[in-house]
Amino acid sequence: MLCVTIARTRHKHVLTEHAQVAELGAKLVELRLDYIGRSIDLARLLKNRPTPVVVTCRRKEDGGRWDRSEEERLMLLRSAIAMGIEYVDLEEDTAVKIPRYGKTKRIVSLHNFEGTPPDLETLHAGLCKIDADIVKIAAFSNSFRDTARMLQLMKTAKVPTVGISMGGFGTPTRVLAMRYGAPFTFCVFNADRRVAPGQLSFDQMQNVYRANTITSETKLYGVVADPVAHSYSPLIHNASFLANNLDYRYVPFQVAPADLEMFLRWCQSERIGGLSVTIPHKQTILPMLSQAESAAQGIGACNTVVFSEGEMIGYNTDYRASMDCLSEAMSKLTGLPDPFERQSALILGSGGVSRAIAYGLAQRRAWITIASRNRESAEKLAKHVNGKSIAWEERHLIEPKIIVNGTPVGMFPEMDESPFPARSFKSGTLVFDTIYNPEQTLFIKGARAAQCPVITGLQMFVRQAAYQYRLFTGLEPPIDVMVKTLKKAISPVNYKDLDEDDDEIDTDVEFDGED
């Protein structure tokens, strides 16, 4: 069950929001009385309430906004209980002062906005002893290790427990709470009105993750990165799972480099089905795997892991997707059976996606030039693909047949930048941007203005996700769903019926074997 937190300063806004979330399907609402700025009228808030409620009045020292007297706060909580509320949230010292009364269930809670206590289990045991129907512990997570501990606490608790790891590392504790035994978990009606770090919106929890229906039987997948909140992969994979009626979910996992190996062991123990891998883990994850396809080994980077029968198998779908996009475009441009042979390609950047594209082009006998702001990294990549490197400042001095942007320059929110001077584009050069948000980057706009054929990052992103979907499920991906979901997320203002645009990305994606 999802509990939607309402934290508004005026009674009428609380009532309006309560009615709205109830209409959208919420079954439980938390009323944050400490946010109300005026004298609190409990009867007005509770009379004819459209859902059961949790009443909370949090002091400043516990992360709330209550700045009036403690006596007034305790009286408010006692009055709410006497009026027959369904749940009351009581901090440890408050729970000792307010005895059980009537049918109101007691949530005994602890909050730590600094970190996850080392004695988490001991603290939990203490809260359980204060006549708790439910224990709630919300602690800031400074690593995935903290998150894993909180999930384990919920899983093994004898008293129903809502464990929340606050912050970016803790998202799995919110999405997977019910899978690990929590009676409910918290979210907010509007993501712009979060009351704790890392809270997700009701829409995200209900419509993206379908958190209410995640069980021990649900197959889990995810994306591992640091940071990870910006990723659109959960949107398109979860929409695709739903389109094919699969009881699968795709979760964002923020994992620091130092914890990557531990995280992979956790994935195996928790029966995670597969992972998308992105910055900064694409290269460092490779030696941690049981095996990897030849392309991933040749590239030296992996962006997909499948867990199967105790093995961790690595793939590089960036490589496959980028070569699909480039091969189609170059075949149209040249009409040759080997469209890349002896063609010059300038690759901007030397990270994971640049490595994949450089490897693919080198395999197809193109002439590779690497330009990166990290000259040492550029030289290493150039040597790896038998190409050459040039200084970043000289990137506009050559005239290649293909230009690929593998840098984040121009990515949201820094959309007023381009990795290549618009005046230096030459008509007829194939220009490929791997950035998908925004789809029409300044780099792509400059190329179009110079009458260059272009490949957008959205085309590549959807193709690589489609390959991942096939590896994860063994099924054909619903590419139309992927395209529309991504376009709606990137540009909701401009989103409309996209049926007429479906031909922008070939929906007949073929899944070839290894090259």
Q: What's the average model confidence in pLDDT over 20-41? A: 95
In sequence order, which residues have a C-beta less than 8 Å from that of residue 415 and are 6 or more positions away? Answer: 438, 441, 442
What integer pLDDT is reported at residue 377 of this predicted model? Answer: 95
What integer pLDDT is reported at residue 492 of this predicted model? Answer: 64
pLDDT tens for each residue of 65-77: 999 999 999 999 9
In sequence order, which residues have a C-beta less than 8 Å from that of residue 336 and are 6 or more positions away? Answer: none
What integer pLDDT is reported at residue 496 of this predicted model? Answer: 54
Q: 376 exposed, middle or buried (CB, 10 Å; 0-12, 13-18, 19+)?
A: exposed
Name the CATH superfamily housing domain 337-460. Answer: NAD(P)-binding Rossmann-like Domain (3.40.50.720)
What integer pLDDT is reported at residue 493 of this predicted model? Answer: 58
% of the chain with per-residue pLDDT over 70? 95
What integer pLDDT is reported at residue 352 of this predicted model? Answer: 84
Strand pairing class (28-32; 2-6):
parallel
Residues 265 and 469: their CA atoms lie apart, in Å, by 22
Of the candidates 12, 60, 136, 282, the residue annotated as catalytic is: 282
Is 488 an active-site residue?
Answer: no
CATH of domain 2-216: 3.20.20.70
Nearest to 370 by CA among 353, 356, 391: 391
What integer pLDDT is reported at residue 194 of this predicted model? Answer: 83
Domain boundaries, the chain: 2-216, 337-460
Q: What's the average model confidence in pLDDT over 121-125? A: 96
Residue 294: pLDDT band with limits 50, 70, 90: very high
Element (H, E) at 466: helix 457-473
pLDDT tens for each residue of 386-399: 999 999 999 999 99
pLDDT tens for each residue of 444-474: 999 999 999 999 999 999 999 999 999 999 9
Residues 369 and 387: their CA atoms lie apart, in Å, by 6
498 pLDDT above the threshold of 60: no
* Token pair 């690589």 in the structure block, residue: 464
Q: pTM for the whole thing? A: 0.89
Residues 384 and 35: their CA atoms lie apart, in Å, by 59
Residue 413: pLDDT band with limits 50, 70, 90: confident
99 pLDDT above the threshold of 90: yes
Is the backbone peptide bond immediately before 339 cis, with ω within 30 degrees of 0?
no
Query: Cα dihedral angle (44, 50, 54, 57), rounded to 10 degrees?
Result: -30
Residues 507 and 503: their CA atoms lie apart, in Å, by 7
- Angle between helix axes 233-243 and 479-490 (nearest 10 degrees) is 140
What integer pLDDT is reported at residue 193 of this predicted model? Answer: 81
pLDDT tens for each residue of 340-361: 999 999 999 998 899 999 999 9
Residues 113 and 196: their CA atoms lie apart, in Å, by 9
Residues 213 and 449: their CA atoms lie apart, in Å, by 49
What integer pLDDT is reported at residue 494 of this predicted model? Answer: 55
327 pLDDT above the threshold of 60: yes
pLDDT tens for each residue of 243-261: 999 999 999 999 999 999 9
Question: DSSP code of 205?
Answer: I
Can you read off the two tokens belonging to residue 424?
């230096």
Whole-number average pLDDT of the chain: 93
134 pLDDT above the threshold of 60: yes
H runs (alpha helix) in 270-400: 294-299, 317-334, 352-363, 375-384
What integer pLDDT is reported at residue 8 of this predicted model? Answer: 95
pLDDT tens for each residue of 162-205: 999 999 999 999 999 999 999 999 999 987 888 888 999 999 99
Q: What's the average model confidence in pLDDT over 48-60? A: 96
